[in-house]
Structure 1
């Protein structure tokens, strides 16, 4: 019988190689950082010419902070005994692949360090007030699973994730290009706030039983599995209705109605959670939730770009 890898072992499964390190970043979540940066930049196109280097810097910093946050999650889930070899999900590099816990923590801190250097460049070309906002965002990323009272273990995780990884990234991306924040930029950011929070909610629905066993008080546990699924469906519904109302009110271009093309993914996500009975069966639904956010944001960006051209 094959001996399983022990946590902290230096060995890594040979059939995965570099993919172990790539999976450590939890790449399916990185789109939650990419889509808001693209959307905020697309919103700015109506007011100014785009500074490409600032766009790329903001994109890199957001991706690095998201990846580091995922690694903190990996590290503290292991430390608190939440991750085992049998855990369902993309995490588990420590317990399944033998990466040392200290290596994961060190890599996360290194990514934070690089993002700070990129942030200095952004501040030098815009405003040093962004340094404070960036540091607060990084602190929240750490406290999401780190510290004595992890945000992820409370009913407020969706709100923090939606605000810092959705709405705030859009507004910063918009600000570094235009030097201001407009009412329209805030209004268009609301669905991203909801959908990024929805990604976390979908994760908590999948992990409902395990989180409850370990005493986590997530929003899904607070309202119950069925109500959590209904809430996720409501998040999708409000996001699409919000864009429709903004179009009808003349706040944004009718071209942004292209976002409706992402609706099948949202429907797939809700159906998957309704029909799923265990974490493994709900994995495709969780992936569809993340994909809905990505496609939604990308299509909004395309609509804005086309609207500016015509």
Structure 2
């Protein structure tokens, strides 16, 4: 692959993972639509911000996991552009800066839109705080003196920044409020998206232990990886079932289809147990995550 080529950058931003940025915004926008508050322009800006921030986080992760020794050219997982030498250090740092500035620009546009349409309750400071937190998370998930992913907090961070914050904030920007249903949907999204991190950490547990990356799986053992993965998907579906109480039958029942394919992937993960063969489970987990997002979004729209 040619150094610093478009193909190298596409590899670096990890297209297979970008559903994690799309799903929370889609679910929140569907909720806003059924509650009579959907705003297309705001939804598009939220989509753009989420995708740009995820690309930023992926690039930072690519750079710093290599610098900390977690990603080497012979790693078990999918190729990392920086570890393979496809992107030079200067170009990677410049790319991180460009994506960060682009996300900040979109965030400013979102702030302007929300202020112009009167959906802000606290003068816009809540959006500024949330945007700043997203940028801090993108960097300090793997970078900095105390990276979250290296101290057992990666899963909590994913649930917060790919579940609670994007769903609740997208819904709030469009409607000016937040509901219990939005919080339930946010938690469900965060848990499902965290299955990708869990299978990654389960696969990399030996490499992570060697380089001092203390994920939950490293700290508590492979059993926590196996059953933690199962619990994440199962609790997410149970949360969706609770939407029956709000009269959202399809939003409650359609995610059961996700659970069926999720269980098949979990069984395969347990059977394979270790090695690069687990990359099959990573691919299936990404597919299952997208399926969950589609099913929950469609279910919300159907009522």
Q: Give the conservation status (yes or no) of the 8 Å contact 2:243–2:249.
A: no
- Are the equivalent residues in 2 in contact too, given 1:83–1:95 (CA < 8 A)? yes
Give the Å deviation of 1:158.
0.1
Q: TM-score, normalised by structure 1?
A: 0.89
> Are the equivalent residues in 2 in contact too, given 1:61–1:119 (CA < 8 A)?
yes
Counterpart check, 1:233 vs 2:224: no
| Per-residue Cα deviation, 1:238-271 (whole angstroms, up to 9, x for no partner) | 1112222331xx2141112112221233123212
Structure 2 regions of 5+ residues with no counterpart?
115-119
Aligned residues of 1:76 and 1:146 also touching (Cα < 8 A): yes
Match of 1:96 in 2: 84
Aligned pair partner of 1:63 in 51, 71, 76: 51
Partner-residue secondary structure (3-state), 1:45: helix
Matched residue count: 293
Displacement of 1:163 after TM fit?
0.6
Q: Secondary structure at the match of 2:178?
A: coil
Q: 1:241-256 to 2 correspondence within 5 Å?
A: 241-247=238-244, 250-256=245-251
The equivalent of 1:8 in structure 2 is none
Unaligned runs of 5+ in 1: 6-10
Say yes or no: does 1:201 pair with 2:198. yes
- What corresponds to 2:149 in structure 1? 152
Alignment counterpart, residue 12 of structure 1, candidates 3, 24, 32 = 3
CA distance in 2: counterparts of 1:31 and 1:254, whole angstroms: 24
Cα deviations by residue, 1:145-202 (Å, 9 ceiling, x for unpaired): 0101111112111001111111210111111110111122112222112122222111
Distance in structure 1 (CA, Å) of the matches to 2:79 and 2:164:
26
2:202/2:222 contact within 8 Å kept: yes
| 1:31 partnered with 2:28 | no
Residue 272 of structure 1 aligns with which residue? 268
What is the CA distance between 1:277 and its match in structure 2?
4.1
- How far apart are residue 222 of structure 1 and its match? 1.6
Distance of 2:250 and 2:291 partners within structure 1: 15
1:303 to 283, 299, 302: 299
**Pairwise CA RMSD of aligned residues?**
1.7
